Amino acid sequence: MAGPPGNETNLTTSPDNESQPAWSPDGAKIAFSAGGLFMMDADGNNPQRLEDTGSFPQPVWRPIIRTPRLWLPATRG
């Protein structure tokens, strides 16, 4: 969700070029690309590398089969 200009907060400390953020449906997590697919808490804590295969397209959140309340980031396509 976009706020007023100038109120942005950097949630990462990596020198990598993070891009393509995607909020989880419940707003608790953010998936993003940065030389792989990453996921972190919405406040920037607990970053996790999910895939380490280079650049990813825009992540999307998809439900896990048989567990409609649990979503995992994936890539479009």
DSSP type of residue 52:
-
Task: Indicate whether 67 belongs to any domain.
Answer: yes
What integer best gives the mean pLDDT of the chain? 75
The count of domains in the chain is 1
Q: Which domain holds residue 60?
A: 19-75
Tell me the whole-structure pTM to 2 decimals: 0.69
Give me the average pLDDT of each 10-residue run along the chain (77 residues): 67 76 88 85 90 72 62 59
Task: Indicate whether 66 belongs to any domain.
Answer: yes
Interatomic CA distance for residues 4 and 72, integer angstroms: 29
- For residue 3, give both structure tokens: 């706020």
Task: Indicate whether 27 belongs to any domain.
Answer: yes
